[in-house]
Amino acid sequence: MDRPLKFGSESLGSRLILGSARYPNHDVLLQALRAGGTEMVTVAIRRVNLDDPTGENLVSLLRRENFRLLPNTAGCYTVRDAVITAELAREALGTDLIKLEIIADEDTLYPDAEKLLEASRILVDKGFQVLPYCIDDPVTCKKLEDLGCVAVMPLGSPIGSGMGILNPYNFSIIREKCQLPVILDAGVGTASDVALAMELGCDGVLLDTAVAHAKDPVLMAEAMRLACEAGRKAFLAGRIPRKYYAEASSPTGGKIRGGRKAG
């Protein structure tokens, strides 16, 4: 049997983490989360009304449905803003978990590696369990591991692009070099992207837009769940090596050979 996905103090049966943004409404969101079989949902702190803990806000809705929350610092461009947002999340939600995002520019929404390393160091020192959204660079991922992060979350391609994993080779190297859980974050377009990530050795996948903007978000969430499970099983089973030439699946000995008829 497969082991749970573990990072920091968390242990999850599902390796699929879903976002909570961009859905048509809360009803569709909840249906999709259930169909995806996810146990953890990421929430942007800037979207949460921290002044209304008693109302029907997103946090209270998710908690009532027993989803675990992973707050994130989406929308931050500086180390200071990211650290303050993380501290607000800890105070409001009572969790040390934080998905750390520091964006470099508005066009690509790529993470700023230099600021990410600095903020990770600060937050780890403050007792946070940091899951940094980073570029698909093995060197950066290893540095984040050395700083004390509990997982690394490299992008497959730009946020919301749906382009999938543009550099599978990098993910293979990240998997080889890092002992931390590796969670694909950003770029997923469809179920095959999730399956590929898991086959490459990722420990989990975090996605949002690919489900929230699908024509049928609930059905797509189910597809993502099945792809995550299939990809994980394929990784554990061990694929056959790639070869340039064909190799017969049946033994070659004892072949029936035709001959000339006597007489």
Q: Which pLDDT value is given to residue 54?
A: 46
Asked whether residue 52 is assigned to any structural domain, the reply reads yes
Asked whether residue 263 is assigned to any structural domain, the reply reads no
The count of domains in the chain is 1
> Do 59 and 82 contact (CB within 8 A), yes or no?
no
Query: What is the enclosing helix (H) or strand (E) of 207?
Result: strand 204-207
Asked whether residue 32 is assigned to any structural domain, the reply reads yes
Q: Are strands 204-207 and 40-44 parallel, antiparallel or unpaired?
A: unpaired
Whole-prediction pTM value? 0.89
Asked whether residue 120 is assigned to any structural domain, the reply reads yes
> What average pLDDT is seen over the chain?
91
Q: Which pLDDT value is given to residue 55?
A: 45
Q: What CATH number has the domain bearing residue 150?
A: 3.20.20.70
Residue reference for tokens 């290893």: 142
> Do 192 and 163 contact (CB within 8 A), yes or no?
no
Asked whether residue 191 is assigned to any structural domain, the reply reads yes
Q: Catalytic site residues? A: 99
| R_g over Cα of the chain | 22
Q: Is the pLDDT of residue 46 over 90?
A: no
pLDDT tens-digit profile of 84-114?
999 999 999 999 999 999 999 888 889 999 9
Question: Which residue range(s) make up the domain with 121?
Answer: 8-237
pLDDT tens-digit profile of 1-37?
688 999 999 999 999 999 999 999 999 999 999 999 9
Asked whether residue 242 is assigned to any structural domain, the reply reads no
pLDDT tens-digit profile of 114-160?
999 999 999 999 999 999 999 999 999 999 999 999 999 999 999 99
Tell me the mean pLDDT in the region 191-206.
97
